[in-house]
Each structure stands twice: as C-alpha cells, then as structure tokens.
C-alpha cells in the first residue's frame, strides 16, 4: 500500500474557472483530475491519495469532496479554510461532517498571527475536532512551530515540503536543521518528505538519492521512522521531475531503512497523521 499525501486536482474549463494556477502557467494550467493522476501513480504502486486544496474559493473544498464521492482513490482532503474568515467555524462544521475532510492547510504568514486571539481560537476549534493542521511554511516560519504546538498540544501538525529548504546535495542550512530538530521534539508533529525535486531548482532535478541524502538524513534523525510521510506534490512536481522519479528518490532512501520503516513512510504514518480510514 502507498498513500500519496500531497496532490492537487482542478479544472480550468469549469464555467467559473480556477483561482490557481495562473493562466500564464503553460505546465499547470490544464485540467488535472484523478484519472490523470492514476495513470502515473498506479503503475508505481500508489493505492490512494490525500488531496491538498490549493484554491482559496471556499466551495472548492466541496468540489473535491464531490470528486471523492465518485473516486475512492481519494482517501482524504486537507481543505482550504482561512482561520481569519469570520465564518470559519461554520465552514469547518460543514466540511468536517464528511469523514474524508481531514484538516486544513495554512501558510507562513499565518504563523505570524500566533498572538491573534481570534486566529488561535479557530485553530483550537480544528484541534477540538481531532483534525490535522498542514503547514506550508518557509525556513523562517519553521521556528514558530513550537509555539503553535504548545498552544494546541493535542493537534496533529504536518510540515509540508521540508519547510522550503534548498536542496543542493550538501548539508542543509544549520538554522533550518536546528529549527527542524526543535519542531520534531513534539510527538504530534509530522513532516512530509516532499518537494525535494522542486527545492533543487534544477530542471530536471537529479534522480540519484545520494544528492538528497544529506537533507533526508536530517529529517530521519529528527523525526525517526514514525513521523515521516510520503507526498509527491503532483502535478507541481512535474516542473522538475516525472512522477516516477519523485517516488524513486524516496523509495531508494526508505528501502534502505528496512521494510518496516518503508511501510511506515509510504502509508502507516499518513494513516496516523490524518486518522485515515484505510
């Protein structure tokens, strides 16, 4: 079993169009649906995916849930509901009534708001429902994770795309290493080993796991075998590497850690982080 915890689906041909990606993006601005993904992922052994909603339009959460009702390959949705929205609780109650709705994602800018009472109350509501918070953050914002977790200690948190650190084949920035280690001290914090190819900045990205090993080693040492998760970031990842290459890189790394660790990385840890019914 393999669960890819980071995909995006959207359809620019809808009457209302899409807010993302930009029409000027020749690679991404196209209809991207589960059937397109499955053509690439199923041959690589993928058995399900968690969709991360990138649209800021509230009704696009429902659009994904409607897709999932027809496509059992979608095993979960990390939604897009802004904790600053005055109707946050109403939207959260509505979407979380569907068991496939597993949480929301926020960005680096939100972590500058940890002193905002209204914002934090909405984050608490997420935790009270047993839902998960994904973080799309940069290395600087990574330093705020401990404060967030200490405020909501029961909430599961998933750091996306290795918190945006540049991957260049060498040991990562020391400040990032320290921040990762601090975040990993909290047992309810997970990390997606995702965005590796993208963070090389190379087109195409290297396909040799040795290039990525100095970075993944830091994550392995910090989080261990129980809190690292697979995510492809497809179709965004296609700008830098084919799907099979994205998966090959991490498969090569985690296969060397043994079958038990590999199984945890590719699906068991995702089940725990998102409380998936798989």
Instruction: Find out whether 5 and 51 touch, Cβ atoms under 8 Å.
Output: no
Query: What integer pLDDT is reported at residue 194 of this predicted model?
Result: 98
Q: How high is the pLDDT of residue 22?
A: 96
pLDDT, residue 113, reads 85
Q: What was the pLDDT predicted at 148?
A: 96
The reported pLDDT for the residue numbered 4 is: 98
pTM over 0.85: yes
pLDDT for 115 equals 87
Residue pLDDT, tens place only, 100-155: 999 999 999 999 889 899 999 999 999 999 999 999 999 999 999 999 999 999 99
**Token output for 113:** 């708001």
Q: What is the mean pLDDT of residues 200-220?
A: 98
> Are the beta carbons of 261 and 220 closer than 8 angstroms?
no
Taking only the tens place, the pLDDT of each residue in 240-249 is 999 999 999 9
Instruction: Identify the pLDDT of residue 112.
Output: 87
Amino acid 234: pLDDT: 98
Give the closest residue to 3 by CA, choosing from 270, 276, 275. Answer: 270
pLDDT band at 38 (very low <50, low <70, confident <90, very high): very high
Q: What is the pLDDT of residue 222?
A: 98
pLDDT at 157 over 90: yes
Q: Average model confidence (pLDDT) for the chain?
A: 97
115-124, 215-224, 258-267: least confident range = 115-124
Report the C-alpha gap between 192 and 173 in whole angstroms: 18
- Report the top-level CATH class of 3-274: alpha beta
H helices then E strands: how many in the chain? 11, 8
Give the Cα separation of 161 and 163 in Å (integer): 5
């Amino acid at each position: 079993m393999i669960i890819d915890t980071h995909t995006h689906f959207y359809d620019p041909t809808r009457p209302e169009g899409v807010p993302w990606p930009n029409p000027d993006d020749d690679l991404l601005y196209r209809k991207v649906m589960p059937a397109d993904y499955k053509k690439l992922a199923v041959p690589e052994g993928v058995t399900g995916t968690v969709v991360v909603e990138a649209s800021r339009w509230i009704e696009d959460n429902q659009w994904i849930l409607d897709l999932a009702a027809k496509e059992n390959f979608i095993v979960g949705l990390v939604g897009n509901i802004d904790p600053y929205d005055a109707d946050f609780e109403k939207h959260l109650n509505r979407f979380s009534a569907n068991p496939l709705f597993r949480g929301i994602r926020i960005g680096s800018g939100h972590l500058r708001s940890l002193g905002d009472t209204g914002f934090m109350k909405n984050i608490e509501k997420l935790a009270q429902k047993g839902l998960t918070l994904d973080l799309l953050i940069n290395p600087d914002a990574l330093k705020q994770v401990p404060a967030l977790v200490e405020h909501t200690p029961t909430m599961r948190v998933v750091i996306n795309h290795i918190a945006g650190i540049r991957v260049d084949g060498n040991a990562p920035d020391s400040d990032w290493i320290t921040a990762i280690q601090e975040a990993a001290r909290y047992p309810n914090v997970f990390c997606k080993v995702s965005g590796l190819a993208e963070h090389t900045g190379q087109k195409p990205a290297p396909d040799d796991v040795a290039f990525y090993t100095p970075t993944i080693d830091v994550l392995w040492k910090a989080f261990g075998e129980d809190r690292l998760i697979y995510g492809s970031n497809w179709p965004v990842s296609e700008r830098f590497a084919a799907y099979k290459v994205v998966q090959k890189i991490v498969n090569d790394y985690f296969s060397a850690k043994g079958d038990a660790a590999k199984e945890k990385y590719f699906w068991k840890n995702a089940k725990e982080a998102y409380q998936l019914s798989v």
